[in-house]
Structure 1
Amino acid sequence: MPNQTEVGAAVAEALARAQHHRQRSPRKMRVRLLTQWGEGEGLTVQARIAGRCESELVAQEGLGVRVIPWAELDRRAGELPGLVDAAVEEIETAVAAAPAPARPSRVEGGLDWEAYEGLAEAAYERVLAVMRPLVEEAPDSLSLGGALEAVFLGLMKAAALASVGAGMGKDDAREMLEAAVAELLGRVSEGHRASLAPRLDA
């Protein structure tokens, strides 16, 4: 019969290690202890990092998993904390080595830049057209600043979805956002505030 005290203590320590890794990681990490039955049955350690691109997801396939069969749990329970560390290290290494995605505009040969710029401008104008009504229809419990921030958050979620669909990495998305903000601030500083129509702070 398994020594329940020793197994329980090992599980508790493994869970503490899992929590430690979740807290220290700059990435969204999931570390779980699972009971698995049937093929490959046993107490299973599973670690996973939320992928920011397809290459990171692919890099983690089949990794970050450790299993102690039920028949060996009593004898090997003490290994659990170390298995948590090993599983986490394995996926962190895999994600770090995953090739960074590149923006289509940087890797696609013969890109139609006129169409690219035209679509970007059309998207900008269309978004502006719906922003003001959204702000005007905001609940009275929100200030103008709060409503604008909420609209910004919604737009960023939509932009993030587009960047994922384009196969872009976070660094590229951040670079494009910073460039867009710099361009608009430049217009404001040059006294071209009217070009930011419709004015949302009117």
Structure 2
Amino acid sequence: MAQRILAIFAVVALAGVLVFAFFDDATHKPLAPQGDMLGMDSGESFRDYTARAEASLADAPADQPAFALLTFTQPLAPAEAADVLEPLGRVNAMIIALASPFDLPEPIAGETREDVFQRQLDRIAHSLSGVGNVPVPEGIDAVVAYDTGTALREVAADPAIITAEVLPPDAAWGRFGVRPVSAPGAPGE
């Protein structure tokens, strides 16, 4: 009889632990960004953001790769963006208007970055078809890229890029947030 009570108690305890684990935030919800952010702070002027971004670019270690938000002076077509970003080792995401970043794969054999950009724009256009009178984006406003400070400074010198903000080298993909940059002349600036 004691063994039967002990077995029932063990089953109830195990069920309680499983229910607790299911509702625990550590196992139930995705992890939040760990504090690093790219983009403009709430209420920050474009001038202040540009100064902060320039300082982060200047401080980026020459030989260590880091993530950077590269914002274009105007939306670029896939071919234009691919040309500007060609020297970079990795482009992780593209940003259109004020939307969240769209993750990007690296081009496979026989493809270029232009193909990757165009495929993502085509997917967005397909997802918007039939929604109504929603404008379909045709250009890329910004990207999140990953390369050394030297490579990022080289690309940031291109006149097509208005700002380049770099995170510390220890920032990990998926562990930082990205906020939009409102450049002069853009809605909201």
Length-normalised TM-score, structure 2: 0.29
Instruction: Judging by fraction of residues, say which structure has more strand.
Output: 2
| Structure with bigger RCO (C-alpha 8 Å, 6+ apart) | 2
Instruction: Judging by fraction of residues, say which structure has more helix.
Output: 1
Higher-Rg structure is 1
Length-normalised TM-score, structure 1: 0.27
